[in-house]
Chains A and B, each alone.
Chain A
């Protein structure tokens, strides 16, 4: 069954710690994305990647980092520099960057204590 998996579903971390959110897809999609979803603000793009070993900053990249070493994986690290990291994080993928719908994972809810 093809899709996107994100783990864990809930994550708790202490302030000042870096944390990495996992995103894996078996759809053979080239493009992958990370969004942050906050109540009343919709989805805001953090980073996106068109192809392996290439990624671009989105609208709110400060305090986040990513890597794309494999086509199927696009992990997101929330660093201690992110001022307000508590949020719901969504990973998505698409066949390409244009003329393609995005497929979304179930999300990870990160709470920083």
Chain B
């Protein structure tokens, strides 16, 4: 079955530290990839997405992610986190050629940034 793994369930960083959150998926075909963020008390919203082209994609608020097809990974990065980045982050995969049209979400990573 298709699945998405986010190995870091809880991450605690100090402000200005660099961030990398892992995301791996299990599907061999073409995929669309997403990172969503849920700030405390707010709606889930899109951080960035990858459909095709340059595997390094930039999103809002200084976030970026790199698609490495050979590793089935789409890791999220930010060079310097801020207290306001405290949130839960979800990786999602849309297996384009599977015919199911589902978006499969990872279990999420809770990030806490200490001021």
**A101 close to chain B: CB less than 8 A:** yes
Residues on B close to A: CB < 8 A?
4, 6, 9, 32, 34, 36, 43-46, 49, 51, 90, 92, 94, 96, 101-108
Contact-residue size bin, chain A (C-beta under 8 Å from the other chain): 20 to 34
Label chain B's interface by main secondary structure: strand
Residues on A close to B: CB < 8 A?
31, 33, 35, 40-45, 48, 50, 56, 58-59, 90, 92, 97-99, 101-102, 104-107
- Indicate which residue in B103, B104, B108 contacts A102 across the interface (CB closer than 8 Å): B103
B101 contacts A98, CB within 8 Å? Answer: yes
Note all chain B residues with C-beta closer than 8 A to A41.
107
B43 contacts A104, CB within 8 Å? Answer: yes
Quote the shortest CB–CB distance from A48 to chain B (angstroms): 7
